[in-house]
């Protein structure tokens, strides 16, 4: 019995030290003290002598560096070098790009929630707010999306002029060059306000301020290039585009065949060392109207005019539109949207060497430059576009469901409508929280490459889902295109954001975890760097330093996963308040994620990157942990409004359920069934306890959208909501307020009709009868008629005569022919 007690004590000590992630010194001292007490209690018996021998054998081997490296680290090092995956040059550049932010804390398995909540929240300066209230507001009032997308297939000339003259193309350009020098958050807010009205206008503003010439010039351009181009870009004198994608190289940009050959040529009548380019690009936004082209191509130097290297690598250059040999101007037609997008070709285009962005010193460094810029930009433009649509839906869908009646009830009273309404509200909160958190990190000087991939993928995917939910609620009004339809074009365009700046399938299956595990795991990158050191002794020392900590890290996460699973994480220290349990459960899943990631890397080795389904699910777990963190922080930064609690709880439960499901899918599809069974026991010792948000909480969330609540207003904050005649959202708000005000009067009339006190078939006739019999007052009647008029205006759809439709088709045909020319 005494022996059993000592075994329990040793195991408890092991678990406590592993859970607390104690250092090797503390492990050694702790077990040495236990051994001393054991010897004093039992005396020096055969059993205690054997225990001392085991103690010295283990801890001397671990604590004496020479012995540890010889007997433990060296075999591990040899194994590691055999399983370490090979990486192309573009893969290495992509992985090394950007910085690690909160996603790194999640990967460590024990996130510091105080650190998260103390992170500087996103905010606007007075100048940025004034720009939103002034030029951005004015621009929104100028936009007529039906005219843009159907009649013109382009922005009106006066809108292009307004955008250029008011500095919309210079949002990220420093003031010294005439730009606005706005924050990433302000950039995002501008795109949300404009994009909610017109995808065409939003995209036209996004591109010059995203991955393109201005961004590349700011970070890598020569002073001469900056001084020449940046003021012109800020004034709108030059319109930029950036050409990366080609017919044979989409997601795999490294496969591009666009090439440049270093050679001598003639420029401005003089013999000049330059580059002879041949290329074919497509899907290039703003290309048809661009005056300066950013071009990515592979540079070769067969005559070694620049050095002794022939294959120099991917390079970026700036090329004026009218350079001889360039064919540009034709347009693509992406899903009925009118933003300028088209192909560019170049044949024997000669450019001087100093047109390379950054000069010849940056030749061959283009891919790294692009990845560094994309690390931040990917979290801004496309997420903002998706959030814009989500805010419009969160503001309008519930109001429409309250205004629109079927079976003598507002359709929002039906559970079938409550379900998509709850998703719209919760997903909008998640999307807004994620893009706000990411842009705040960028404004703190970070370039969150993994976080930006998470945000881009999940925000655009959630946007696509709620676009479908919105169409289900609006029904026929949503599918009948015309001036009164404000969601149809957004629904059509939803897949566009899915395909660009890293197609979502690629982002999920290969980037989020594939890049995340190397950049965010505390020990993988140091181990990989050690394996590349040419000096064997130095390599072994560096690997030893990392791998011993890695082993301890893995043991700790194994213990933490099991203990937190058994205790349902109630022992985790977390911020106090209504959301405490969500912080605790997030910590539990962080430990489990770190543990299962190490198991997958150990079992699959270098082949893990080819196990795309498992890698994608691991990426999903990391993503939903990031989204859950963003939700908790967003709720905190907004002042923890108790009215928002149903939405925040729904969003948090959704994330936790999705995390649980991805763990379950990994375990069910794990090829080694014995290890799969062990993973199941360790991660879910009490079974899978999370479910989708219950109907009751969904009902509470839906109710918040069916009335002009503060929660609904916060969800839509940043959208164009001004009460002006051309704003459909203002009409919906007006109808909602009037409908709710008229509701008690309608109940009086309904009761009177049931009692046969009044007559009439239509609502107007019954109201008139109630007025005549003094059941309602003249003021009540007037209010009821106003509500009915507002309701009819909102639910109305467009209709056209055959002649009008024929004329529209001809107009559309002319626009397409114009595009083709």
pLDDT in tens, 764-819: 888 888 888 888 888 988 999 999 999 999 999 999 888 877 766 666 555 555 55
Tell me the pLDDT tens digit for each residue of 113-156.
999 999 999 999 999 999 999 999 999 999 999 999 988 899 99
777-816 in b/e burial notation, b at 16+ Cβ within 10 A? eeebbebbbbbbebbeebbeeeeeeeeeeeeeeeeeeebe
Angstrom distance (rounded) from CA 267 to CA 272: 6
Q: Compute the average pLDDT of residues 462-483.
A: 94
pLDDT at 557: 94
Q: Which of 291, 382, 285 is nearest to 333 (CA)?
A: 285
Asked if the model's pLDDT at residue 412 lies above 70, the reply is yes
Confirm if 343 and 280 have CB atoms less than 8 A apart.
Answer: yes
Tell me the pLDDT tens digit for each residue of 319-364.
999 999 999 999 999 988 899 999 999 999 999 999 999 999 999 9
Asked if the model's pLDDT at residue 684 lies above 90, the reply is yes
Angstrom distance (rounded) from CA 453 to CA 623: 9
Tokens 């002034």 appear where? Answer: 134
DSSP, collapsed to helix, strand or coil, labels residue 118 as: helix
Tell me the pLDDT tens digit for each residue of 76-103.
888 777 777 666 666 666 677 778 899 9
Asked if the model's pLDDT at residue 566 lies above 90, the reply is yes
501 is catalytic: yes
DSSP, collapsed to helix, strand or coil, labels residue 278 as: strand
Q: Compute the average pLDDT of residues 238-250.
A: 91
Angstrom distance (rounded) from CA 403 to CA 742: 11
Asked if the model's pLDDT at residue 552 lies above 70, the reply is yes
Instruction: Write out the H or E segment, with its range, that includes residue 265.
Output: strand 259-267
Q: Which of 711, 583, 694 is nearest to 644 (CA)?
A: 711
Tell me the pLDDT tens digit for each residue of 369-399.
888 877 777 889 999 999 999 999 999 999 9
Confirm if 234 and 218 have CB atoms less than 8 A apart.
Answer: no
Q: What is the pTM of this model?
A: 0.94
Which of 56-60, 442-446, 616-620, 796-800 comes out lowest in average pLDDT?
56-60
Angstrom distance (rounded) from CA 200 to CA 332: 13
Task: Quote the tokens at residue 42.
Answer: 């039992």
Which residue has better confidence, 593 or 69? 593
Tell me the pLDDT tens digit for each residue of 274-302.
999 999 999 999 999 999 999 999 999 99
Angstrom distance (rounded) from CA 234 to CA 215: 12
Confirm if 413 and 486 have CB atoms less than 8 A apart.
Answer: no
Task: Quote the tokens at residue 168.
Answer: 């919309």
| Neighbour tally for 311: CB within 10 Å | 11
Angstrom distance (rounded) from CA 164 to CA 157: 11
Confirm if 473 and 397 have CB atoms less than 8 A apart.
Answer: yes
Tokens 């704003």 appear where? Answer: 727
pLDDT at 817: 56
pLDDT at 104: 92
Q: Which of 14, 110, 221, 69 is nearest to 594 (CA)?
A: 110
Q: What percent of the chain has pLDDT over 70?
A: 96
Q: If pLDDT is split at 50, 70 and 90, which confidence band does 9 have?
A: confident
Task: Quote the tokens at residue 728.
Answer: 């459909």
Angstrom distance (rounded) from CA 373 to CA 377: 6
Mean pLDDT of the chain: 90
Q: Compute the average pLDDT of residues 477-499.
A: 91
Task: Quote the tokens at residue 612.
Answer: 């795309």
pLDDT at 54: 80
- List Cβ neighbours of 795 (8 Å cut-off, separation of 6 or more): 400, 403, 404, 477
Catalytic residue among 372, 461, 501, 658: 501
| Neighbour tally for 610: CB within 10 Å | 11
Confirm if 331 and 200 have CB atoms less than 8 A apart.
Answer: no
pLDDT at 250: 79
Length of the chain: 821
pLDDT at 394: 96
Q: Compute the average pLDDT of residues 727-753.
A: 91
Instruction: Write out the H or E segment, with its range, that includes residue 603.
Output: helix 580-604
CA 575, 579, 580, 582 torsion-angle sign: negative
Angstrom distance (rounded) from CA 741 to CA 372: 54
pLDDT at 681: 96
- List Cβ neighbours of 792 (8 Å cut-off, separation of 6 or more): none
Distance between alpha carbon 280 and the CA centroid of its chain, in Å? 30
């Amino acid at each position: 019995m005494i022996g059993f007690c000592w075994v329990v004590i040793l195991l408890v000590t092991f678990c406590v030290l592993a859970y607390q992630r104690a250092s090797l010194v503390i492990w050694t001292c702790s077990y040495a003290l236990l051994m001393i007490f054991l010897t004093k209690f039992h005396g020096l018996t055969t059993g205690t002598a054997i225990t001392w021998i085991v103690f010295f054998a283990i801890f001397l081997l671990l604590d004496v560096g020479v012995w540890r490296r010889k007997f433990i680290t060296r075999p591990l090092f040899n194994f590691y070098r055999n399983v370490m995956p090979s990486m192309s040059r573009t893969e290495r550049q992509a992985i090394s790009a950007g910085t690690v932010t909160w996603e790194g804390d999640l990967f460590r398995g024990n996130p510091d929630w105080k650190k998260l909540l103390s992170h500087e929240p996103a905010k606007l300066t007075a100048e940025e707010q004034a720009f939103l209230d002034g030029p951005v507001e004015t621009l929104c009032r100028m936009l007529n999306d039906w005219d843009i997308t159907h009649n013109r297939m382009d922005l009106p000339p006066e809108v292009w002029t307004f955008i250029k003259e008011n500095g919309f193309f210079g949002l990220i350009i420093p003031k010294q060059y005439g730009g606005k020098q706005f924050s990433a958050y302000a950039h995002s807010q501008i795109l949300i306000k404009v994009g909610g009205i017109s995808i065409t206008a939003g995209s036209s503003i996004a591109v010059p301020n995203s991955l393109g010439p201005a961004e590349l010039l700011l970070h890598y351009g020569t002073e001469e290039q900056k001084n020449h181009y940046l003021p012109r870009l800020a004034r709108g004198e030059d319109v930029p585009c950036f050409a990366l994608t080609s017919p044979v190289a989409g997601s795999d940009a490294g496969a591009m065949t666009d090439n440049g050959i270093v050679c001598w040529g003639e420029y401005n009548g003089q013999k000049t060392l330059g580059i002879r380019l041949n290329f074919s690009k497509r899907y290039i936004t703003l290309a048809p109207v661009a005056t300066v082209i950013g071009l990515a191509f592979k540079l070769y130097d067969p005559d070694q005019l620049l050095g002794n290297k022939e294959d120099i690598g991917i390079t970026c250059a700036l090329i004026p539109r009218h350079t001889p040999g360039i064919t540009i101007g034709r347009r693509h037609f992406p899903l009925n949207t009118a933003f300028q997008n088209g192909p560019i070709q170049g044949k024997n285009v000669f450019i001087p060497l100093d047109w390379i962005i950054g000069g010849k010193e940056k030749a061959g460094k283009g891919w790294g430059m692009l990845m560094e810029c994309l690390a931040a930009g990917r979290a801004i433009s496309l997420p903002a576009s998706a959030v814009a649509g989500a805010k419009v839906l969160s503001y309008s869908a519930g109001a429409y469901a309250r205004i629109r009646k079927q079976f003598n009830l507002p359709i929002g009273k039906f559970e079938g409508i409550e379900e998509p309404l709850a998703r719209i509200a919760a997903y909008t909160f998640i999307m807004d929280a994620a893009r706000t958190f990411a842009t705040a990190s960028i404004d703190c000087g970070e370039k969150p490459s993994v976080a930006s991939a998470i945000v881009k993928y999940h925000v655009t995917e959630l946007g696509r889902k709620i676009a479908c939910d919105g169409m289900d609620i609006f029904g026929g009004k949503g599918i009948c295109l015309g001036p009164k339809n404000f969601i149809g074009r957004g629904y059509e365009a939803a897949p566009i954001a899915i395909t660009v700046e890293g197609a979502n399938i690629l982002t999920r299956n290969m980037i989020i975890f594939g890049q995340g595990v190397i950049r965010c795991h505390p020990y993988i990158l140091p181990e990989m760097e050690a394996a590349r050191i040419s000096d064997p002794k130095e390599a072994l020392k560096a690997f030893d330093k990392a791998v011993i900590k890695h082993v301890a890290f893995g043991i700790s996460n194994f213990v933490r996963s099991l203990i937190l699973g058994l205790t349902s994480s109630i022992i985790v220290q977390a911020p106090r308040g209504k959301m405490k349990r969500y912080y605790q459960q997030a910590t539990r899943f962080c430990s489990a994620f770190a543990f299962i990631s190490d198991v997958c890397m150990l079992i699959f080795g270098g082949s893990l990157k080819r196990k795309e389904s498992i890698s994608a699910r691991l990426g999903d777990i990391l993503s939903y942990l990031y989204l859950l963190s963003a939700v908790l922080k967003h709720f905190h930064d907004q002042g923890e409004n108790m009215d928002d609690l149903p939405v925040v709880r729904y969003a948090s439960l959704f994330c936790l359920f999705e995390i649980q499901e991805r763990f379950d899918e990994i375990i069910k599809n794990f090829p080694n069934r014995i290890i799969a069974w062990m993973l199941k026991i360790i991660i879910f010792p009490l079974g899978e306890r999370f479910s989708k948000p219950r109907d009751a909480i969904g009902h509470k969330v839906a109710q918040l959208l069916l009335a002009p609540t503060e929660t609904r207003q916060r969800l839509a904050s940043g959208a164009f909501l001004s009460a002006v005649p051309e704003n459909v959202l203002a009409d919906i708000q007006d109808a909602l307020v009037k409908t709710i005000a008229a509701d008690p009067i309608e109940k009086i009339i309904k009761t009177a009709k049931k009692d046969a006190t009044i007559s009439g078939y239509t609502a107007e006739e019954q109201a008139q009868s109630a007025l005549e019999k003094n059941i309602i007052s003249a003021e009540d009647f007037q209010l009821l008629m106003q509500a009915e008029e507002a309701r009819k205006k909102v639910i109305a759809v467009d209709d056209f005569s055959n002649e009008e439709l024929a004329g529209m088709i001809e107009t559309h045909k002319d626009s397409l022919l114009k595009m083709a020319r």
